[in-house]
Amino acid sequence: MSAMPASLRDEFPLLAAEPDLHYLDSAATSQIHRSAMDAVLHHETTSRANVSRGTYRLAEAADLAYERARQTAARFLNAGSPDEIIFTSGATAALNLVAHAFGNTLQAGDRVLISVAEHHSNFVPWQMLRERTGIELAMIPVTASGQLDLALLPELMDSKCRLVAVTHLSNVTGAWTDVATLVEAARKVGAKVLLDGAQAVQHGPQDVRALGVDFYAFSGHKCFAPGGVGVLWGRGEVLAAMPPFLAGGGMIASVSLEATTWAEPPQRFEAGTPPIAQAVGLAAALEWMMGLDWRQVHARESRLCELLIEGLQRIPGLRLLGPEMSAQRAPIVSFDIPGLHPHDICQVLDTHRLALRGGHHCAQPLLAALGVEVCTRASIALYNDEADIHALLDGLTFALRELA
């Protein structure tokens, strides 16, 4: 692993071009790393062609680049095989793929277990599956700090449970999920486990085999790569037992007037032209990430998170959402100031070159459980520094005066 530079801002083109910008919205979209942007440009100007279609030089180069990207994603997740990697348009598409393809193997009375803490992308598809098929949809509640309350697992995990689909890391509270406990309970009843890793991958490579799960989904735009690309990892034997989700070119073994047969995974789940250049850019970002010293990165992110929380706790009336500073919290910090709308706060902060997000963060059931409708969120990434935190705290002081 390479040594951790003092500052990474210059490796991100937008941040390098705008040195006075304090970007604290990486939980929504991270900035793209230069290597990923360069990889997309290089591919589009030297190897632009469709994959799995041609035998000429450009097409073969595109095939090679695309399959190398699959291999890189497999290494990033420590997958058993590159054939377990499915490229999608993002985590939302990956989660919907599972809800349809794996969901089509379920029947009325089977149970899917999700949590109150889910992003809508891992909540609404299961509600829709319930409407289509009559499955049961059960909810893991959250504690007062927004962590999954696993005390009810023995009641929720019985022979009817077929799948547990939960977030790996909350996009609102920064709370990590106790995956080991969930996996142990699921295995006892033969249920599969899906993790929504959209927030987690920004904070380092993941090991799906060590996690013990069956599906893992994430998006490129949240891990320093282009938008429009995501990954669904699925355990090989689980993917092989699933029917396709979308139909079209590339996902078939044969087509006749009478019937169609499917290709093996992953092609079975990649109908049509995939996000080729975006996958190449994603691979470049993942390669760069795998070269970092993540212990140093985590220590730095943790220090900045602690500095921010300490400063926020000095603001009268402000309520922090999420767990206290601990190994159970990632650097995503949401807060509520009664009487002030987050959109107003964020607009005032924008005049101070601060980029934060305000709203329900596509997690309305979680916010309802925490007793708020909306909140303001600051999310820290590896390119942030103490100057960003001090600017935010000063900006909030100004905003409180302006909006009082």
Are 22 and 166 contained in the same domain? no
| pLDDT tops 50 at residue 2 | no
For 42-101, how does the pLDDT look when each residue is reduced to its tens digit (9 = 90+)? 999 999 999 997 899 999 999 999 999 999 999 999 999 999 999 999 999 999 999 999
- Whether 172 is covered by a domain: the verdict is yes
Q: Please tell me whether residues 151 and 42 are part of one structural domain.
A: yes
- The number of angstroms, rounded, from the C-alpha of 166 to the middle of its chain's C-alpha atoms is 11
- Whether residue 318 sits in one domain with residue 254: no
Same domain, 230 and 260: yes
Cα gap 86→267, rounded to integer Å? 8
Residue 364 falls inside a structural domain:
yes
- Residues pairing with 165 in the sheet: 194
Report, as an integer, the average pLDDT of 304-328: 91
In a domain, 322, yes or no: yes
323 in the same domain as 187: no
CATH number reported for the structural domain that contains residue 342 in this entry: 3.90.1150.10
The per-residue pLDDT for 6 is 54
- Give which of 234, 360, 218 is closest to 279, Cα–Cα: 218
- Considering the domain architecture, whether residues 218 and 107 belong to the same structural domain is answered as yes
Conformational region of residue 228, where left means phi above 0, alpha means psi within -120 to 50, and beta covers everything else? left
At 165 the pLDDT is 98
Query: What rounded mean pLDDT belongs to the chain?
Result: 96
Answer for the pair 319, 336: CB distance below 8 angstroms, yes or no.
yes
Burial class (CB in 10 A: 0-12, 13-18, 19+), 259: exposed
* Shared domain check, 100 and 170: yes
At 198, list the tokens: 């959209």
Shared-domain flag, residues 26 and 79? no
Q: Is residue 1 over pLDDT 50?
A: no
105-149: per-residue pLDDT in tens? 999 999 999 999 999 999 999 999 999 999 999 999 999 999 999
CATH of the domain at 75: 3.40.640.10
**Among candidate residues 290, 317, 335, the one where a domain is terminated:** 290
Shared-domain flag, residues 234 and 107: yes
Integer Cα distance of 182 and 250 in angstroms: 36
Same domain? 70 vs 163: yes
Of the pLDDT bands very low, low, confident and very high (cuts 50, 70, 90), residue 5 is low
**pLDDT above 70: residue 290:** yes
Of the candidates 259, 290, 321, which is a domain's last residue?
290
Residues 238, 297, single domain; the answer is no
Q: Indicate the angle between helix axes 386-403 and 294-312, nearest 10 degrees.
A: 20
Answer whether residue 77 is part of any domain. yes
2, part of any domain: no
Last residue of a domain, one of 227, 258, 290: 290
Is the pLDDT reported for residue 104 higher than 60? yes
Residues of the chain with pLDDT > 90, as a percent, come to: 95
pTM given for the model: 0.96
Q: 351 lies in which domain range?
A: 9-33+293-403
Q: Is the pLDDT of residue 326 over 80?
A: no
Residue 4: inside a domain: no
Task: Check if 375 is active-site.
Answer: no
Please check whether residue 1 lies inside any domain of the structure. Answer: no
Vertex 155 angle, CA 150 and 156, to 5°: 70
Q: How far is CA 37 from CA 13, 51, 82, 178, 202, in A?
A: 9, 20, 23, 35, 17
Average pLDDT over residues 300-325: 94
Q: Are 42 and 26 in the same domain? A: no
The domain total for the chain is: 2
Residue 4 CB-density burial (10 A; 0-12 exposed, 13-18 middle, 19+ buried): middle
Look at residue 172 in the predicted model and tell me its pLDDT.
98
Does residue 247 register a pLDDT over 60?
Answer: yes
Residue 24 to residue 353: CA distance in whole angstroms: 10
Hey, what are 377's tokens?
A: 């969120």
Tens digits of residue pLDDT in 7-45:
799 999 999 999 999 999 999 999 999 999 999 999 999
Confidence label for 324 from pLDDT (cuts 50, 70 and 90):
confident
Q: pLDDT tens, 216-237?
A: 999 999 999 999 999 999 999 9
Whether residue 3 lies inside any domain: the answer is no
Out of 161, 223, 305, 362, the active site residue is 362
